[in-house]
Amino acid sequence: MFRAKLVKGTMALMLIGTLFSVPMMPVASAADTSCANGYVGLTFDDGPNNSNTTKLLAALKQAGLRATMFNIGQNAQNNPSLVRDQAAAGMWVGNHSYTHSDMTTLNNSQMSSEITRTQQAIQSITGTAPQLFRPPYGATNATLKSIESQNNLTEVLWNVDSQDWNGATTAQIVAAAGRLQNGDVILMHDQYQTTLQAIPQIAQNLKNRSLCAGKISPSTGRAVAPDSTTTPPSTGTKVEAESMTKGGQYTENISTPFNGIALYSNNDLVKYTQFFASGTHNFSLRGASNNSNMARVDLKIGGQTRGTFYFGGSNPAVYTLANINHGTGNQEIELVITADNGTWDAYIDYLEIN
């Protein structure tokens, strides 16, 4: 805290006019008519592998579809870059056991090992542990279900079986997808040419029926709308500080030295939710101190401090924290003061993620 509160009060009055012109965060429209009939879950099991996964991701991206990939743990372990590619393509990554055994033939500790080794392999690659588990062959029992829940996993089977594993033709796979209704999940595999060739027609079929490819909800195991902030950072996501949510006691909008936010004392912060398809990014914050003392603003992601931005004077400057590791999916980003010693305030302009 540096400024006298009275001064800030006056400043706040002067700024009221600008408050109403603050840009709104982009939010996907809930009434998006192209998804008027709801969401379906496309799932691809048994990857990743060198022969098919890259082609599958390209086909899904080309068709504008997102899907859930139930990876075999040992395949993930052996092909970490393909797992990263899945996440970077906006796919959700699930657990399909470590060795693809029929889990109902295993004892407790073997079941546990199949599940936890896969959780660890995928978490170490993407930064996030899966929330969904599909037992190989759909074979499950009460013991397995209890081990799944100990690992915070939701079991996901399917409503529609494409039969791609059983020699179905591309036309038969497309026809199977044509039976999907809101919330349903279809079983396919990251393995077959027939399945790959079905993807453009599956996309067209869903579009014709005003259905969209959704995520599978860990709470219900059914397909739902992807979270609203689903645009992954590509060549740079820039978020203005004044469009974030303010927290703390004194945080307020400013118009000099830029349109932004002033953080005055410990726990003053701004925050918002960012979707990350992958787990490492560069974070650049433009800001300044209010005087010649060093201002410090911490970067928290998902509740954990990942670095500190330093602003050594009153001239606005960009400070970059490079190669920051963080969780994937929706993460809360906070820009917060924790090192206030009463000799400076921080002004922040925008956060850029690359």
Name the one range near Zn ion by CB under 5 A: 42-50, 55-63, 172-180, 270-278: 42-50
**Contact status: 340 vs Zn ion (CB under 5 A):** no
Q: How far is the CB of 137 from Zn ion (least distance, A)?
A: 7
Name the one range near Zn ion by CB under 5 A: 60-68, 87-95, 131-139, 312-320: 131-139
Between 45 and 242, name the residue whose CB sits nearer to Zn ion. Answer: 45
Between 187 and 269, name the residue whose CB sits nearer to Zn ion. Answer: 187
Residue whose C-beta lies closest to Zn ion = 45
Sign of CA dihedral 128, 132, 136, 140: positive
Between 93 and 335, name the residue whose CB sits nearer to Zn ion. Answer: 93
Between 164 and 345, name the residue whose CB sits nearer to Zn ion. Answer: 164
Name the one range near Zn ion by CB under 5 A: 40-48, 85-93, 211-219, 322-330: 40-48
Between 136 and 287, name the residue whose CB sits nearer to Zn ion. Answer: 136
Q: How far is the CB of 153 from Zn ion (least distance, A)?
A: 16
Q: Which of residues 163-182 bind Zn ion (CB under 5 A)?
A: none
Name the one range near Zn ion by CB under 5 A: 14-22, 136-144, 195-203, 309-317: 136-144
Distance between CA atoms of residues 188 and 168, nearest Å: 11
Name the one residue in this structure whose structure tokens are 């922040």: 348
* Contact assessment for residue 271 and residue 344, using Cβ atoms and an 8 Å cutoff: no
Residues 6+ apart with CB under 8 A from 233: 274, 276, 277, 281, 353, 354
Q: For Zn ion, which residue of 35, 46, 170, 297 counts as binding (CB under 5 A)?
A: 46
Q: How far is the CB of 193 from Zn ion (least distance, A)?
A: 18
Q: Which residues make beta-bridge pairs with 161?
A: 187
Q: How far is the CB of 148 from Zn ion (least distance, A)?
A: 16
Between 111 and 336, name the residue whose CB sits nearer to Zn ion. Answer: 111
Distance between CA atoms of residues 71 and 162, nearest Å: 18
Cα 155 from chain centroid (whole Å): 20
* Contact assessment for residue 151 and residue 116, using Cβ atoms and an 8 Å cutoff: yes
CA distances for 48 relative to 39, 95, 139, 214, 263, angstroms = 25, 12, 21, 21, 46
Q: Residue 323 corresponds to which amino acid?
A: N
Between 190 and 334, name the residue whose CB sits nearer to Zn ion. Answer: 190
Name the one range near Zn ion by CB under 5 A: 41-49, 144-152, 244-252, 280-288: 41-49
* Contact assessment for residue 305 and residue 299, using Cβ atoms and an 8 Å cutoff: yes
**Contact status: 327 vs Zn ion (CB under 5 A):** no
> How many positions of this chain bind Zn ion (CB under 5 A)?
3
Residues 6+ apart with CB under 8 A from 291: 2, 313, 314, 343, 344
Q: Which class for 91: exposed (0-12), middle (13-18), buried (19 or more C-beta within 10 A)?
A: buried
Q: For Zn ion, which residue of 35, 43, 45, 212 counts as binding (CB under 5 A)?
A: 45
Between 147 and 241, name the residue whose CB sits nearer to Zn ion. Answer: 147
**Contact status: 136 vs Zn ion (CB under 5 A):** yes
Write the DSSP symbol of residue 239.
E
What residues make contact with Zn ion under the rule CB under 5 A?
45-46, 136
